[in-house]
Amino acid sequence: MELTFEILVETEKSKEELMEILQEKIEGTVRQKGYLLLQNNVLKIEENPLHDKSRLGAGEDSWSYFKYSVSVFPQNETTIEEQKLLARKISNFLIEVAQQVELIAGSDFE
């Protein structure tokens, strides 16, 4: 069972601003250098070198042009239900500050 997930984000916010927003909004989040620790998970935000706003929504491969990739993976034992809740929670906070957000996860998340 795959418990990791990724959230693609198109926003004008900086990586630093996104990390601050998530740290403020999700209780118990701890910042460690370039990543966040939250609810037994590591969250890392990476800027996409292929970012191209004009190509978003243009076909099957448009997902590869979002500005940021937010990768989340468990550090300790967790359940698929807890990961689904966390994915929704993070997505909801990101939707508030982004033009577009897309969750990418395994079939277990459906």
Give per-residue pLDDT as tens, 5-52: 999 999 999 999 999 999 999 999 999 989 999 999 999 999 999 998
Q: How many domains does the chain have?
A: 1
One-letter amino acid for residue 103 of the chain = L
Q: Give the helix/strand (H/E) hosting 47.
A: strand 41-47
Domain around 65:
5-109
In this prediction the pTM is: 0.91
Residue 20 neighbours by CB distance under 10 Å? 13
Query: Do 29 and 100 form a contact (C-beta atoms < 8 A)?
Result: no
Domain of 43, CATH number, reads 3.30.310.180
- What order of strands is seen across the sheet that includes strand 30-32? 30-32, 35-38, 41-47, 68-74, 5-10, 100-105
Q: Any idea which residue has 């996409």 for tokens?
A: 48
